[in-house]
Amino acid sequence: MIENQSDNIGNKEDDLSNQDNIPVDNSTAEDQTVEKEILSSQNTEVINTEDLKNTISNNDARLEQLEREHETLKNQYVRISADFENFRKRQSRDQDDLKIQLVSKSLTAILPIVDNFERARQQLKPESEEAQALHRSYQGLYKQLVEVLKQQGVAPMRVLGQQFDPNLHEAVLKEPSENFKEDFIMEELQRGYHLDGKVLRHALVKVSMGPGKQNSQEELEKDTVEGEIDSEDNTSEDV
């Protein structure tokens, strides 16, 4: 009986050893793990691809928006730059015009003094040495004044014998003339001046009416007188 028990124990031990020697099939578990990893990797790749597409799409939309904003800002800059350039030119012209107006006003106030010097030079005829010395003295002052005017850009007009131009001349008198054609200047009454090519003061002039005006007037008066005489003769005959 003891032997039977020992045999049973021996058989159990053999069974256990046999069970230990049976190989365990781990390939299925490993395959499942690999498949899960592959599926997870694929899902991750799909997600990453979708995210990348969304990111690219968002970047493209943002790039288009930035390009539109850039174009708008560029147009604004060009417009502002052009407006500023026009403003700068306009300010420069206004400053030049203001400067010319101030200079013109000052020089115009000096011109009557020049006129008086010229009248004195034409009218005075010094005879004594003292008078001649005084004459030379104020003539020197006159030359200095004229030189200053030249330095400021002032130049006198030369109008005698020129055709009348209302932009340059002011007609004070009109007279018939045998020496000058009609609308030509026959005498300068007050000298005109230019300032850097612009009119500083108009010249006061006497304009010719031409050689035929006087004869025409005389003929008209003669015809009028003859008509009155004929009318009186006719009246006396009727009486």
The per-residue pLDDT for 19 is 46
The per-residue pLDDT for 31 is 60
Categorize the per-residue pLDDT at 169 as very low, low, confident or very high, splitting at 50, 70 and 90: very high
Q: Please say if the pLDDT value at position 203 is more than 90.
A: yes
The per-residue pLDDT for 235 is 41
Q: Please say if the pLDDT value at position 187 is more than 60.
A: yes
The per-residue pLDDT for 230 is 52
Considering the chain, what is the average pLDDT of its residues?
76
- Residues of the chain above pLDDT 70, percent: 69
The per-residue pLDDT for 120 is 81
Categorize the per-residue pLDDT at 152 as very low, low, confident or very high, splitting at 50, 70 and 90: confident
The per-residue pLDDT for 221 is 53
The per-residue pLDDT for 32 is 63
Full 3-state SS string of the chain: CHHHHHHHHHHHHHHHHHHHHCCCCCHHHHHHHHHHHHHHHHHHHHHHHHHHHHHHHHHHHHHHHHHHHHHHHHHHHHHHHHHHHHHHHHHHHHHHHHHHHHHHHHHHHHHHHHHHHHHHHHHCCCCCHHHHHHHHHHHHHHHHHHHHHHHCCEEECCCCCCECCCCCEEEEEEECCCCCCCCEEEEEEECCEEECCEEEECEEEEEECCCHHHHHHHHHHHHHHHHHHHHHHHHHHHC
Q: Please say if the pLDDT value at position 58 is more than 90.
A: no
**Stretch 65-79: mean pLDDT, rounded?**
91
Categorize the per-residue pLDDT at 55 as very low, low, confident or very high, splitting at 50, 70 and 90: confident
Q: Please say if the pLDDT value at position 132 is more than 90.
A: no
**Stretch 147-159: mean pLDDT, rounded?**
90
